[in-house]
Amino acid sequence: MKKDNFKSPDFYNIDTLFNEEQLLIRDTVREWVKENVSPIIEDCALSGDFPEDIVKKLAEIGGFGGFLPTNFGGSEIDLTSYGLMMQELERGDSSIRVLSSVQSLVMNTIYTLGSDAQKQKYLPKLASGELLGSFGMSEPNHGSDPSSMKSHYSKEKDCYIVNGSKMWIGHAPICDVAVVWAKNKSNKYAGFIVEKNTEGFSTAKIEKKWSFRASETGELIFQNMKVPKKNILTETDNIKILFDRLNIGRFGVAWGSLGIAMECYDVALRYSNERNQFGKSINSYQLIQNKLVKMITEITKSQILTWRLGTLMDNGDASFEQISLAKKVNVEMACKVAKISRSILGGMGITGEYPIMRHINNLEALVTYQGTDEIHTLIIGKKITGVSAIK
């Protein structure tokens, strides 16, 4: 793969909307990606190998749970800064953003719902990368509707017994600890912290993926799994608590997909400057300029949308419908931009010399990941009409 010479597109001076600390965090992660991700990621994606040594390196720059308090391993950064971090990590590769966002989701759940003892035991080790976390909500037949989950639990004398499985779970085959969800006969939902050596707990790896190639994805399996009572996070009949867990993940995908689009545009722009046909660089042809203008237009609109969402999140004013809109819009936009970029590169667009096809494959997963396009459409539709088209 060619050297990472990324230069961020900023047609509307979006950088002026961020404060000094936010820009510093973004630039630090950008350089970290250039040094640690770009040189290895194409080979990792081709071989399907997870770059394990990247975990501690990412922890060193605050890549895990950065928005949490410092006494629990966080850096107390704002959510816009966290979004910028996701943007830069996903520009490197979706698998690296997944590494950060899944770990951060596990940490945020324990921080929000856990006891002091649970926070002290798990959060510092998750923040340092000593422990790798996994978050289990989606199931083989119930992804976008957690209320229909089949994983179930019962309370015994000295533990909880959990049965069921979770599917399409990031880091499942290699996790040290997992936050998992189940439902009881009274339709109450419970979250549990499950350590890898827990009796009745096992994992399986999903093979032959075309997306997230450098990430370990798999299944969490519970067969009369015995979870100590001290490891329950919460028990509630309020489904909103489960949906609230998803907001930070969808927020990260909105920023991350923007990072992919920015990368694809930058690669296409640079290639069009260097590639010559019929005696001149192809950037001088009207058809190529039309494609580049379409790309920068869509990116600029998404940059403004995503910055605004970050501001709303920092102020505590963002609704889950607004997060859904940003996730849906930015993933759609990135898919369009990536395919235009691939067309500008011609035959070179399908090679490992450039990151375009790797990003296109990853985007296919992002269309479904953290809620399908259709589910987000229905969430937004209910908000603007007041009528649910789901149930």
The rounded distance, in Å, linking the Cα atoms of 317 and 329 is 20
Alpha helices in 76-192 (DSSP H): 79-92, 94-113, 116-128
The rounded distance, in Å, linking the Cα atoms of 378 and 211 is 25
The total of other beta-carbon atoms located within 10 Å of residue 225's CB is: 24
Any residues with CB less than 8 A from the CB of 197 and at least 6 apart, and which? none
Residue finishing a domain among 171, 202, 236: 236
Does one domain contain both 30 and 51? yes
Does one domain contain both 22 and 108? yes
Does one domain contain both 91 and 194? no
> Taking CA 249 as the corner, what is the angle to CA 216 and CA 305, rounded to the nearest 5 degrees?
130
Does one domain contain both 145 and 218? yes
Does the model's pTM come out above 0.85? yes
**Residue 279 belongs to domain with CATH number:** 1.20.140.10
Does one domain contain both 299 and 245? yes
Residue finishing a domain among 236, 258, 277: 236
Does one domain contain both 175 and 281? no
Written as one letter, the residue type at 299 is I
Does one domain contain both 85 and 169? no
Q: Give the residue numbers spanning the domain of 354.
A: 240-385
Does one domain contain both 252 and 351? yes
One pLDDT digit (tens) per residue for the chain, 391 residues: 668 899 999 999 999 999 999 999 999 999 999 999 999 999 999 999 999 999 999 999 999 999 999 999 999 999 999 999 999 999 999 999 999 999 999 999 999 999 999 999 999 999 999 999 999 999 998 776 777 899 999 999 899 999 999 999 999 999 999 999 999 999 999 999 999 999 999 999 999 999 999 999 999 999 999 999 999 998 988 878 877 888 999 999 999 999 999 999 999 999 999 999 998 999 999 999 999 999 999 999 999 999 999 999 999 999 999 999 999 999 999 999 999 999 999 999 999 999 999 999 999 999 999 989 999 999 999 999 999 998 6
Any residues with CB less than 8 A from the CB of 94 and at least 6 apart, and which? 211, 212, 215, 256, 260, 359, 362, 363, 365, 366
Going by the DSSP 8-state scheme, the letter that residue 181 receives in this structure is E
